[in-house]
Amino acid sequence: MTIVLTPYWSNGVQKLKIASQSPATPKPGLTPPALNASIHAQRCLAQLRSKDKSIEKYIYLSHLKNEDPSIFYKLCLENMVEITPIIYTPTVGDACLQFSHIYRRPEGLYVSIKDKGNIRSVLNNWPKLDEARISVVTDGSRILGLGDLGVNGMGISIGKLSLYIAGAGIRPESTIPICLDLGTNNQKFLDDPFYLGNRHQRVSDKEMEEFMDEFMHEMSRAYPKLMVQFEVSYDYILRLQCPHLMPNQDFSSDNAFKYLDRYRNKYAVFNDDIQGTGAVVLSGFLNAAKIASAASGRPLTSHRILFFGAGSAGVGVAIQLQSFFTLQGLSTEEARQQIYLIDSQGLVYNARGRLAEYKKCMLPFSLFPSWMYSSSKPDFSRDDYSGPPMTNILDIIDYVKPTALFGLSTITGAFTPEVIRAMAANNPRPIIFPLSNPVRLSECSFADAVEHTQGAVLFASGSPFPQQQYEGRTLYPGQGNNMYIFPGLGLGAILARVSSVTDSMVKASSLGLADSLTDEERSLGLLYPRIERIREISAHIAKAVIRAAQNADVDRSIDLRNVSDSELLRFIHGKMWKP
């Protein structure tokens, strides 16, 4: 075997390392005589399909990834539609809940509060220090709306990195799943004898902040080329962002979310729950709005968006959808006037009475990119209505006459046939996005949306729905899945060797996704490209992200500045790991 040594710099000293090589072919006699790689892939797929429960399929694929990563990722690439829901949402949620019970072997890196003051030594134990390029970090506090999972949240870090590898061709050895064990407030796990984490309540905010400061500093020293994706949900952000709304939590408004705010400017940090969700929803709406405007003859600036669900997630997405209108030339104030919210008490408006602050004024901070909001507080409470409380969604639709209806309520079936027909009565191509996860909490199904709009609906959901047949046509639902965004964004950040992940890079990923539809996909009315093309999509997004990084002057691979777009795209494809 030829050994290839490549130079690298570490703490100002040039060293040599052995270049990555493909695993050696087993010697004769160590495998069956008729073992064939392509047939073996079919064998593994048959074994997977023999399992009748999704969690059993998850366990099988986890074992296969450990034993034969090439076969695992080959199956992922060739069967994305079938395997993605197993290694990611929705099955990964169940896998996280059962993580301590289905655990079989170490995977990833666990950094405990007990390591405080000694975190560097733990990080140095990772076996491939010099290969580290991307990490998904969670403390398990809020995963997929499942509550405080503690160390069981590691499943989401593992799952997302599997998609970075399959979806963008990032080398497996370059990824580090990390779980921060700061305790858990979930008594069920604390009482579970199989629970794998520390058995104590979550540490205080002050101790967490000190821990995070040390963790991020040592991460930058141990893995200088690493991009970090944080897993922090809207609920957690709201708790940190608006402490006065959460009296039982000890957060002050002066330092709320201070450490993540600071890290974003100091390190290459990306937050998928905020930036990824916003980017993928914006992308789908961009494509839907163009189709709807073409059908109605009305300009893009005339769209009106009605949000059913004004919790932290609904308000967060509303903030992000403002950018659709500012991209069309409206001011932020004008954009805000195109957005309406419904909460548990009906239409949100000033004259109704005192509102929760996050419904009226979502305090902006740096994890919400600047192109999503203005410097003033975004106020979604209407000042152009002063009548009696309007609580019936049908009455509100009649009053607002929205072109788009977004669901973030987690109320099953909230978009009744009457609601769907009301949207269709006002619009030749109504836009309906029931975004609540999982499927059982979705505001409506794709089948109902198709039936009650006579096939005219422009639909995207948070969870996958099957395609539908209508009057001899096959109609395809969109899914606003973050996996469209983060693999390509991560790949672009790695190849450009960015010093930070800027607002413009996130915006570029959204516009890149919207622009990645093929002519065939557009002719079929798709809002998102086919997931089977994820590598091609990721390359397209990575190119846009690299160009945005160059324009923001945060790239350190300056040799890429002088190549053409076609050359850059070839370079990106050439860097993708192929199983």
Residue 211: which CATH number? 3.40.50.10380
Q: Which of 88, 263, 340, 484 is catalytic?
A: 88
**Cβ-proximal residues to 536 (8 Å cutoff; 6+ apart), any chain:** 516
Residue 464 amino acid letter: P
Task: Read off the pLDDT of each residue in 97-103 and give the average, rounded to a whole number.
Answer: 96
- Whether residue 346 sits in one domain with residue 199: no
Least confident of 159-163, 323-327, 546-550: 323-327
The answer to the question of residue 400 being in a domain is: yes
The answer to the question of residue 57 being in a domain is: no
Q: Find out whether 231 is annotated in a ligand binding site.
A: yes
Q: Find out whether 273 is annotated in a ligand binding site.
A: yes
- Whether residue 257 sits in one domain with residue 226: yes
Least confident of 285-299, 375-389, 427-441, 543-557: 375-389
- Whether residue 382 sits in one domain with residue 316: yes
Confidence of residue 289 (pLDDT cuts 50, 70, 90): very high
Which residue has 């390190």 as its token pair? Answer: 267
Instruction: Say whether pLDDT at 373 is over 80.
Output: no
- Whether residue 487 sits in one domain with residue 476: no
Q: Note the pLDDT of residue 239.
A: 39
- Whether residue 287 sits in one domain with residue 263: no
- Whether residue 375 sits in one domain with residue 237: no
Using alpha carbons, select from 109, 139, 138, 141 the residue that is nearest to residue 222: 109
SS3 category, 175: strand
What does pTM read for this prediction?
0.84
Q: Note the pLDDT of residue 232.
A: 56
**CATH code, domain with 391:** 3.40.50.720
Q: Note the pLDDT of residue 521.
A: 95
Task: Read off the pLDDT of each residue in 441-466 and give the average, rounded to a whole number.
Answer: 94
Task: Report percent pLDDT > 90 for the chain.
Answer: 68
- Averaged pLDDT score across all residues of the chain: 87
Task: Report percent pLDDT > 70 for the chain.
Answer: 85
The answer to the question of residue 305 being in a domain is: yes
Instruction: Say whether pLDDT at 252 is over 50.
Output: no
Least confident of 375-379, 456-460, 509-513, 558-562: 375-379
Q: Which of 65, 160, 360, 507 is catalytic?
A: 160
Residue 249 amino acid letter: Q
Q: Note the pLDDT of residue 2.
A: 58
Least confident of 52-56, 87-91, 449-453, 574-578: 87-91
- Whether residue 493 sits in one domain with residue 414: no
- Whether residue 570 sits in one domain with residue 435: no
**What is the pairing mode between strands 339-343 and 305-308?**
parallel
Distance CA 31, CA 41 (A): 15
Distances from the Cα of 291 to the Cαs of 288, 303, 364, 457, in angstroms? 5, 12, 31, 11
The answer to the question of residue 226 being in a domain is: yes
- Whether residue 259 sits in one domain with residue 294: no
Distance CA 325, CA 523 (A): 25
Q: Find out whether 426 is annotated in a ligand binding site.
A: no
Q: Note the pLDDT of residue 233.
A: 44
Least confident of 87-101, 307-321, 395-409: 307-321
Peptide bond connecting 90 to the previous residue in cis, omega within 30 degrees of 0: yes
Which residue has 């499942």 as its token pair? Answer: 146
What does the pLDDT look like over 455-480, one tens digit per residue?
999 999 988 899 999 999 999 999 98
> Burial, 69: exposed, middle or buried (Cβ in 10 Å; 0-12, 13-18, 19+)?
middle
Instruction: Say whether pLDDT at 153 is over 70.
Output: yes
Instruction: Say whether pLDDT at 240 is over 60.
Output: no
Q: Identify which has the larger pLDDT, 13 or 337.
A: 337
Q: How many domains does the chain have?
A: 3
What does the pLDDT look like over 24-65, one tens digit per residue?
678 889 889 999 988 999 999 999 999 999 999 999 999 999
Instruction: Give the range of the structural domain holding residue 358, as residue numbers without chain letter.
Output: 278-480
Q: Find out whether 250 is annotated in a ligand binding site.
A: yes
Q: Note the pLDDT of residue 254.
A: 30
- Whether residue 558 sits in one domain with residue 447: no
- Whether residue 409 sits in one domain with residue 346: yes
Helices (H), 133-232: 154-168, 187-191, 205-222
Q: Find out whether 481 is annotated in a ligand binding site.
A: yes
Beta bridge partner(s), residue 136:
177, 229
Task: Read off the pLDDT of each residue in 357-370 and give the average, rounded to a whole number.
Answer: 43
DSSP state of 547: H
Angle at the Cα of 253 from the Cα atoms of 248 and 256, rounded to 5 degrees? 85
What does the pLDDT look like over 194-213, one tens digit per residue?
999 999 999 998 898 899 99
- Whether residue 203 sits in one domain with residue 99: yes
Confidence of residue 400 (pLDDT cuts 50, 70, 90): very high
The answer to the question of residue 436 being in a domain is: yes
The answer to the question of residue 306 being in a domain is: yes
Least confident of 66-75, 221-230, 364-373, 385-394: 364-373
Instruction: Say whether pLDDT at 22 is over 70.
Output: no
Using alpha carbons, select from 364, 278, 270 the residue that is nearest to residue 318: 278
Confidence of residue 440 (pLDDT cuts 50, 70, 90): confident
Structure tokens at 552: 């923001």
Instruction: Say whether pLDDT at 552 is over 60.
Output: yes
The answer to the question of residue 502 being in a domain is: yes
Is 160 catalytic? The answer is yes
Distance CA 320, CA 378 (A): 11
The answer to the question of residue 366 being in a domain is: yes
Q: Note the pLDDT of residue 21.
A: 61
Least confident of 7-11, 175-179, 288-292, 433-437: 7-11
Distance CA 417, CA 393 (A): 12
Using alpha carbons, select from 472, 491, 471 the residue that is nearest to residue 483: 491
Is 263 catalytic? The answer is no
